[in-house]
Chains A and B, each alone.
Chain A
Amino acid sequence: MMFTPQQPPTRTKPSLAVFKFASCDGCQLQLLDAQGKLLEIADRVQIDHFLEASSKVVPGPYDVGLVEGSISTAHDAERIREIRRQCRMLVTIGACATSGGIQALRNWGRIDDFLGAVYASPQYITTLATSTAIADHVPVDFELRGCPIDTRQLVELITALVLGRKPRVPGYAVCVECKARGTVCVAVAKGIPCLGPVTQAGCGAICPAHDRECFGCYGPAEAVNLVSLTGFYEHRGTPREDLTRLVRSFNGYAPEFRAESDRLEEEDKGDIPGFHHE
């Protein structure tokens, strides 16, 4: 973390820039919702570069850059380096930017298969074989998790930036949020394999509250034990390939989740169509 509260903002209104890479747009859309605080935010920060919202484009440098999306082309790998140079502080928003996103499923396949499956003339398409997190390419000062990010956390982040303090974002697991809202544990009481015990909080534990499993939108929580959790579910009868898919989804390429789905697959030797290791 490069947050330095003692360092005053460069001017009374910090400048903000928003950048998009491979993504669905859902995270920067949260800035337009921002719990009804968009106009208030626009008063407190100077929005210099936010293509989706404004035709006003002020060249860098910027105090803060918010980056949505993953790196999946050579051009984007270059672009993020230039953006890093332009931003005093770089914050990644969402699962694509922090772990490569759902499109990182391609990292387990052969890129030619993917190109041929979607495009009749793959030669027109330039793409990397992988979809990777921003932090794999440049240093990142802070990351906001989620698929999508939560508007309350986003407002907290911007508040902290304006005040020059560190954002208060929990590192504990979704289980804590379930207990806080009084949701009966779906894993224990209903036998549903749930990633809540290993997933970082932030969403408000909405999935267990809807009688379904947490599927890891916020990525790995601090100090988690995936082997123990999947072992528990497997012992209780969940097929190993189901567990592999559960761990390998929206944050599947986050290091902890990735290691676990690889381990499950390695031990299983099960054939998951479309996702063969090279």
Chain B
Amino acid sequence: MSDPTIRKITVKALTRVEGEGSLRVRVVGERVEIAEFSIYEPPRFFEKLVQGRAIRELPDIVARICGICPVAYQMSACGALEQALGIVTTPGIEALRRVLYCGEWIQSHALHIHLLHAPDFLGHESGLSLAKVAPELVERGLRLKALGNRIMEVVGGRAVHPINVTVGGFYKPPDSAALRGLLPELEWGLAAAEEVVRETSRFEFPDFTREYECVCLKAEGEYPMNHGRVVSTGGLDIDVADYERHFQERQVSWSTALQSVMLPEEKPYLCGPMARLNLCFEQLPPRARAAAESSGLELPITNSFRSIVARGIEIVAACEEAIRLVQAAAAAPLAPCRVAFEPRDGVGCHATEAPRGILYHRYEIGADGLVKGAVIVPPTSQNQGQVEADLRDMLPGILDRGDEEVRHRCEHLIRNYDPCISCATHFLRLEIERA
């Protein structure tokens, strides 16, 4: 543009997020004309490539959608396929699945808090540079991450892309001694996570609040992970089977990720740790609740910059839950470790709470044992519209600042959502045009 009043700010790549994407903002006067959060991830076509694959292969295949949250994909797929097959697993299997999921939450949240998000609050370019001045903070993050990984290894056989998960349960029961061996580190992790909550709640948060339509699973008597009804702050309360009647994926020209909106208003919504805390605080185990209360966090959380505290609280919860469940599982070895199935024609859907929010899967299967069709809605696609809405709201209030600060604030805001770009995105470039 030759117009001298147009200011352009360009950043080649957004960093400290999982994957790569771009952002394009155009501001005319005080009006934000365009705020597009683009996703350039080369499409990998998972919904198509699982067609014709055997039912039993699915947990291994869909894990490869994301190296940070493979368990989420395995759990949603197993739940949906088990429904299609008409089988019900045992409480013991479900308890161990929850332990595995706790491991994933711990490692994913610990990574995001310490290496990706904290540097924004503490004025650092990375967790590595932060480690030079606050080694104990970064080392705690890495040790928490290692704890999550270890849980995934003991229960799932491997931390990235676990190999012990199968439709109906597990290939092999985890070793009781190895399970018990997790407990001392989990006790440390619980105390360390409480420290995370204390520390992060003392960060300085940019003043940016808004009312969110929060969406998450809600279950009786437990903080949501593997099961629950889909609820929202606006009063939605539906069975997962009705998910596609209330949420719809849309294709936008600037993104290879589909964006999800809530029907009938077609509005963006928020999922993930903030949504879960806002809707399921009562379900938190006692120490997580106490940590939240003593941190001074006010509910509902309306400032996405505070999501770092919400993640800390969820690490406390995941450690607490894992301790309780591991003690029980170590005392009574899992038998049988899986429920057998006979292939049949069927359709099944299931949703679980990935670290970043609701992950919905639906499969159609055949009596030949093969998958006929699949629908997968990852949490980052669901939050993508909300990220754009936040940017549109936040930008007018900060336009008096320099380009560098505006750019950084936008990147920080996107990191509040911990976008998982391999689930949905690639290559984040930021371009701001000002007229």
Across the interface, do A103 and B138 meet the contact criterion of CB distance under 8 Å?
Answer: no
Say which residue of A21, A33, A73, A105 sits within 8 Å of B159 (CB atoms).
Answer: A33
Could you tell me the distance in whole angstroms from the C-beta of B416 to the nearest C-beta in chain A? 16
CB within 8 Å of A: which B2-51 residues: 12-20, 41-49, 51
Q: Does B324 contact A (CB under 8 A)?
A: no
Determine if A103 and B160 form an interchain contact, defined as CB atoms under 8 angstroms apart. no
Decide yes or no whether A127 CB sits under 8 A from chain B: yes
Q: A25-B66, A103-B44, A206-B157 are in contact. Are A211 and B49 (CB under 8 A)?
A: no
Is A54 a contact of B126 with CB atoms below 8 Å?
yes
Closest to A27 in B: B67
Chain A residues 203-247 with CB under 8 Å of chain B are 203, 206-207, 209-212, 215, 217, 242, 245
Which residues of chain A have C-beta atoms less than 8 A from B111's C-beta? 32
CB–CB A210/B164 < 8 A:
yes
Q: Indicate whether A206 sits within 8 Å of B52 (C-beta atoms), given known contacts A38-B142, A56-B129, A121-B251.
A: no
> A261 in the interface, Cβ–Cβ < 8 Å?
no
Given contacts A56-B126, A57-B15, A118-B47, contact A26 B131 (CB under 8 A): no
Contact across chains for B43 and A24 when beta carbons are under 8 A apart? no
For residue B90, CB closer than 8 A to chain A, the reply is: no
Taking CB atoms and an 8 Å cut-off, the chain B residues in 128-164 that contact chain A are: 128-129, 131, 135, 138-139, 142-143, 145-146, 149, 157-161, 163-164
- A23 CA to B420 CA, complexed, in Å: 12
Find chain A residues with CB under 8 A from B128 CB.
Answer: 38-39, 42, 47, 53-54
State the CA gap A41–B48 with chains docked (Å): 39
User: Is A250 in the interface zone, CB < 8 Å from B?
Assistant: yes
Task: Across the interface, name the chain B residue whose C-beta is closest to A36.
Answer: B146
Q: Which residues of B contact A109 (CB under 8 A)?
A: 48
- Is A78 in contact with chain B by the CB < 8 A criterion? no
Q: Is the CB of A211 within 8 A of B172?
A: yes
Q: Is B243 an interface residue (CB 8 A)?
A: no
Q: Is the CB of B70 within 8 A of A117?
A: no
Question: Which of B56-64, B292-300, B394-402 lies at the interface with chain A?
Answer: B56-64
Task: Say yes or no: A76 contacts B163, CB within 8 Å.
Answer: no
Interface members, chain A 133-170 (any B CB < 8 Å): 147-148
0/1 per residue, B119-133, Cβ < 8 Å to A?
100000111110100
> Are the C-beta atoms of B251 and A119 separated by less than 8 Å?
yes
Chain A residues with CB under 8 A of B64: 24, 26, 101-102, 147, 250
Q: Which residue of A lies closest to B159 (CB)?
A: A33
Partner of A52, one of B17, B135, B160: B17
Asked if A25 and B146 sit within 8 Å, CB to CB, the answer is no
Stretch from A2-10, A80-88, A172-180, A268-276 that touches the partner: A268-276
**Is B370 on the interface with A (CB-CB < 8 A)?**
yes
B131 proximity list for chain A (CB < 8 A): 39, 42
Residues of chain B contacted by A272 (CB below 8 angstroms)? 52
Q: Which residues of chain A are within 8 angstroms of B41 by Cβ–Cβ distance?
A: 22
Render A16-40 as a binary contact track against B, CB cut-off 8 A, 1 for contact.
Answer: 0000111111110110110010110
Check B45 against A102 for contact (C-beta < 8 Å).
Answer: no
Shortest distance in angstroms between B122's beta carbon and chain A's nearest beta carbon?
13
Q: Nearest residue in B to A123 (C-beta to C-beta)?
A: B253
A25-B15 CB under 8 A given contacts A53-B127, A250-B64, A274-B48: no
Interface string of A40-69 (1 = CB under 8 A from B): 001000010001111111000000000000
Q: How far is the CB of B45 from chain A (nearest CB, A)?
A: 4
Chain B interface bracket (under 10, 10 to 19, 20 to 34, 35 or more): 35 or more
Min CB distance B59 to A, Å, is 11
A30 touches B160 (CB 8 A): yes
B98 within 8 A of A: no
Q: In the docked arrangement, what's the CA distance between A215 and B56, Å?
A: 12
Please give, as numbers and ranges, the residues of chain B lying within 8 Å of A113 by CB-CB distance.
Answer: 48
B44 and A54 form a contact (CB under 8 A):
no
Q: Is the CB of A273 within 8 A of B51?
A: yes
Contacts of A147 in B (CB 8 A): 64, 161
Distance A106 CA – B51 CA, assembled complex (angstroms): 11
Q: Which residue of B14, B138, B251, B422 contacts A120 across the interface (Cβ within 8 Å)? A: B251
Interchain CA distance A56-B129 in the complex, whole Å: 9
Residue numbers in A under 8 Å from B17 (CB-CB):
52
Contact A24 B65 (CB under 8 A): yes
| Interface residue B171 (Cβ < 8 Å from any Cβ of A) | yes
Whether B48 and A118, one on each chain, are in contact in the complex, defined by CB atoms closer than 8 angstroms, is yes
Partner of B42, one of A22, A33, A42, A47: A22
Query: Judging by beta carbons under 8 Å apart, are B43 and A118 in contact?
Result: yes
The docked-state distance in angstroms from the alpha carbon of A73 to that of B172 is 40
C-alpha spacing A274/B368, complex, angstroms: 14
Residue in chain A with minimal CB distance to B249: A120
Which of chain A's residues have a CB closer than 8 A to the CB of B45?
103, 106, 114-115, 117-118
User: Is A98 interfacial (CB-CB < 8 Å)?
Assistant: no
Cα–Cα distance between A102 and B62 once the two chains are bound (Å):
10
Min C-beta distance of A106 to chain B, whole Å:
6
Residues of A close to B16: CB separation below 8 A: 51-55
- With contact pairs A54-B16, A55-B126, A118-B43 given, residues A24 and B66 touching in the complex (Cβ less than 8 Å): yes
- Residue contact B172 to A210, C-beta cutoff 8 Å: yes
Q: Cβ of A117 and Cβ of B47 under 8 Å apart?
A: yes
B356 contacts chain A at the CB level, 8 A cutoff: no
- Let me know if A52 and B47 touch, CB within 8 A: no
Could you tell me if B49 and A52 are in contact, using CB atoms closer than 8 angstroms? no
Give every chain B residue within 8 A of A1 (Cβ-Cβ): none
| With A39-B128, A52-B16, A114-B49 already in contact, 20 other A-B pairs whose C-beta atoms are closer than 8 Å | A25-B66, A32-B145, A33-B145, A33-B149, A39-B131, A53-B16, A54-B15, A54-B16, A54-B127, A101-B64, A103-B44, A117-B45, A117-B51, A119-B43, A119-B251, A148-B160, A207-B157, A210-B171, A217-B161, A274-B51
Listed A/B pairs (19) with beta-carbon separation below 8 Å: A20-B426, A24-B64, A24-B67, A25-B421, A39-B135, A51-B13, A52-B16, A52-B19, A54-B15, A54-B129, A102-B44, A102-B61, A114-B48, A114-B49, A115-B43, A117-B48, A147-B64, A209-B157, A272-B52
Using a CB–CB cutoff of 8 Å, the interface residues on chain A facing chain B are 20-27, 29-30, 32-33, 36, 38-39, 42, 47, 51-57, 72-73, 76, 101-103, 105-106, 109, 113-115, 117-121, 124-125, 127, 131, 147-148, 203, 206-207, 209-212, 215, 217, 242, 245, 249-250, 272-275
